[in-house]
């Protein structure tokens, strides 16, 4: 029971050596039988190596494509219209040509995978 008085069904699980808690729905709108079915579905995902909380976040986004470093760099370079075409091209090549893992970038949340920057002073300033 929450301090506000609402009651929820929760699933506690461990994924990647990290404890997680995921709401399955409000009680009594979600029956015990339905809560157990949802719990079984989430446990199947865990056995398949899929984080059910991350899967839910992706579904909530509605197939919205994730930002990559390349797409953000391309947008930033193209937003500076005062630069010459040669300067924009050179800067974009410098940004994307270094040893960067081009993983998804999400504002305000963590994404699994590595994202690293090495040996590029321009990227350190970003």
pTM recorded for the entire structure? 0.47
Model pLDDT for residues 10-40, shown as the tens digit of each residue: 999 988 888 989 999 999 899 999 999 999 9
Domain range holding 55? 8-61
Model pLDDT for residues 44-83, shown as the tens digit of each residue: 999 998 889 888 888 887 755 566 777 778 888 888 888 8
Is residue 73 located within the same domain as residue 57? Answer: no
Model pLDDT for residues 88-111, shown as the tens digit of each residue: 888 888 877 754 444 445 444 444
Q: What is the CATH number of the domain that holds 49?
A: 3.30.160.390
Is residue 78 located within the same domain as residue 47? Answer: no
DSSP-assigned states of every residue in the chain: --TTS--EEEEEEEETTEEEEEEEEETTTS-HHHHHHHHHHHHHHHHTT--HHHHHHHHHHTSPPPEEHHHHHHHHHHH-TTS-HHHHHHHHHHHHSSS----EE-TTS--SS-----S-HHHHH-
């Amino acid at each position: 029971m929450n301090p506000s008085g609402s009651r929820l069904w929760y699933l506690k699980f461990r994924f990647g050596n990290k404890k997680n808690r995921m709401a399955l729905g409000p009680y009594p709108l979600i029956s015990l039988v339905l809560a157990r079915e949802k719990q079984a579905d989430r446990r199947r995902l865990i056995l398949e190596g899929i984080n059910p909380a991350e899967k839910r976040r992706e579904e909530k986004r509605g197939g919205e494509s994730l930002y990559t470093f390349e797409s953000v760099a391309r947008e930033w370079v193209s937003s500076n219209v005062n630069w010459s075409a040669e300067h924009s091209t050179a800067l974009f090549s410098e940004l994307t040509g270094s040893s960067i893992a081009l993983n998804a970038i999400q504002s305000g949340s963590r994404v699994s995978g590595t994202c690293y920057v090495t040996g590029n002073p321009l990227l350190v300033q970003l």
